[in-house]
Chains A and B, each alone.
Chain A
Amino acid sequence: MLSTSDLAVARGGVTVLQGLTFALAPGQALILRGPNGSGKTTLLRSLAGLQPPAGGAFHLPPDSVAYAAHADGLKSTLTVAENLSFWSQIYGGPSIDHALTALNLTQLARRRAGELSAGQKRRLGLARLLVTGRSVWLLDEPTVSLDVASVALFADVVRAHLTKGGLAVIATHVDLGLPEATILDLDPYRARVIQSTGFDEAFA
C-alpha cells in the first residue's frame, strides 16, 4: 500500500537520505530509527506530500495520509472538544467521542487547550488521528512528553489501527511495545556529505 523506490529526500536543498526502498502492506507498522538530524522528519514530511522528494518515487493511495508533526496544531483559546471537532468536520465529520475515550480525554473535553499539560496536549494532538479516518499514519516522535501509561494507551490505539487494516510509519526513540513492527535504521541511507579538504585542491 505504501511503497518507495530509491527515494531520496532533501532538507534545505541538501540531500539527507537516499536509496530508500521499502514497502508496507495494510496492517504493518514501520519504526524509523536514527540519530538526531538523520532525516526522519524530512522523510515523513516528504511522504505526507509537504515537500517533493529529491529523487526516486513513492506510491500511496490518494488522500490516505494523516500526519502528526512535532507541533500539535492546537488552538489554545478553543476547548478540547472544539479543537477535535474542527478537525473532525474538516475530514468529513466522524464523531469525536471515540477519539476522546481512546486517549482518555473525556474528562478534559470542556477545558481550554491552553490550560492542558504538555502530555495532555500531545494526547489531544494524537486523538486528531482518530477523527481523520485516514489509513496511513505518519507519526513524528508521537510519544514526546507522554508518561508510561499514556505511551501504553497510545500503543493500543496504534495496534487497533493496524488490526483494522491501517498502516503507520513512526519516527521514535522510545520502545512503543509494538513487537510486530518492522524497524528501519536510517543510518545506512544517510547521504554522504562532500567534505571540503581545505585549500589543497585549489593549488593542485
Chain B
Amino acid sequence: MKALLLRDLRLAFRSGGGFGLGLAFFFLLSVLVPLGVGPEGGTLARIAPGILWVGALLACLLSLDRIFALDFEDGSLDLLATAPIPLEAVVAIKALAHWIVTGLPLTLIAPGLAIFLNLPPAGYPWLVLSLLLGTPALSIIGAFGATLTVGLRRGGLLLSLLVLPLYVPTLIFGGEVVRRGAEGMVLATPLALLAAISLGAAALLPFAAASAIRVNLR
C-alpha cells in the first residue's frame, strides 16, 4: 500500500503529472478577486473567507478526474483490481495521494494568499485549521465521484456536476469557521461539523467507491 502511495506521488510530481495546477488556480483567483472587487477594504475583508474556501474547492475539483481515469486508460486499474490489496484500500490511498498533492499545499499557501484578500488577522489560524480539516473531505468525496465516471471519455464535466452538491456542506461549514474566527465569535459547532464530514466521508465512501469501480470494470 505504501508502494501505491509512493507511485501516485511520484507520478504527480513527474512531468505532466498535474501537480501545481490547483495551486496556480488558487493563486490566480486570490490575486484577481481583489483587483475585480476594488480597493474598498471593508468589502474584501467580509468576502475573504468565502472566496478562499470557494477557491480551494474549485482548485481541488480541477484534478479530480485524473485520480482514476489515467489508471483506467492504461489498464492499471484492471491489474490493481486483481492485485492482493482490497479496492477499498486502493481508493483510500489514491484519495490520500490526491490530498497530499492538492489539499495540503492549498492549506499551506492559503495564509499567504489571505493577505491579498485582507482577511482580518484573527482569521488566519482558523483558515489553516478549517482547510486542514475540510480538504480531506474534498479529496475523498472527489475520489468517489471519480469512480462513478471512470469508464467515461471526458467524464470531467459529469464529475463536476456530481461532486459539486456533495461539496456544499464542507464549503458552508468551512467558510463559516473562518468568518466566525475572523470576527472573534464562538466557532466550535461549525468546526466540529466540518471534522465530522471529513471523518464520515473517509469512513464510508471508500466502500461505495470500490463498488462503483467493480461495476465499471465489468
Contact = CB atoms under 8 A, between A and B. Distances in A.
B3 interface: yes
A176 interface: no
Interface string B1-35: 01110010011001111000000000000000000
Interface in A53-75: 63, 65-67, 69-75
Contacts of B76: 73, 75
Interface residues of A, number: 27
Contacts of A92: 84
Given A71-B75, A86-B7, A77 B81 contact: no
> Which applies to chain A's interface (DSSP): helix, strand, loop or mixed?
loop
A87 B2 CA distance: 12
B78 interface: yes
Q: Which of A49, A73, A82 has the most CB of B within 10 A?
A: A73
Contact of A50 (B3, B4, B17, B82): B82
A71 B3 contact: no
A75 B11 contact: yes
Contacts of B17: 77
Contacts of A74: 74
Contacts of B185: none
B186 interface: no
Interface string A184-199: 0000000000000000
Contacts of B81: 49-50
B109 interface: no
A51 B17 CA distance: 31
A69 B71 CA distance: 13
B16 to A, nearest CB: 7
A99 interface: no
> Which applies to chain B's interface (DSSP): helix, strand, loop or mixed?
helix
Contacts, number: 67
A70 B217 contact: no
B84 A91 contact: yes
B3 A90 contact: yes
A67 B82 contact: yes
Given A50-B218, A67-B79, A90-B4, A78 B11 contact: yes
B83 interface: yes
A3 interface: no
A71 B75 CA distance: 5
Contacts of A90: 3-4, 80, 83-85
Nearest to A132: B83
B150 to A, nearest CB: 13
B5 to A, nearest CB: 11
A66 B4 contact: no
A66 to B, nearest CB: 7
Interface of A: 48-52, 63, 65-67, 69-75, 77-78, 82, 85-87, 89-92, 128
Given A86-B4, A90-B85, 17 more contacts: A51-B217, A51-B218, A52-B218, A67-B78, A67-B79, A67-B82, A69-B79, A71-B78, A73-B75, A73-B76, A74-B74, A75-B7, A75-B11, A77-B15, A78-B7, A89-B2, A90-B83
15 contacts: A49-B82, A50-B81, A50-B217, A51-B217, A51-B218, A67-B79, A69-B75, A71-B73, A71-B78, A72-B75, A73-B74, A73-B75, A73-B79, A78-B7, A86-B4
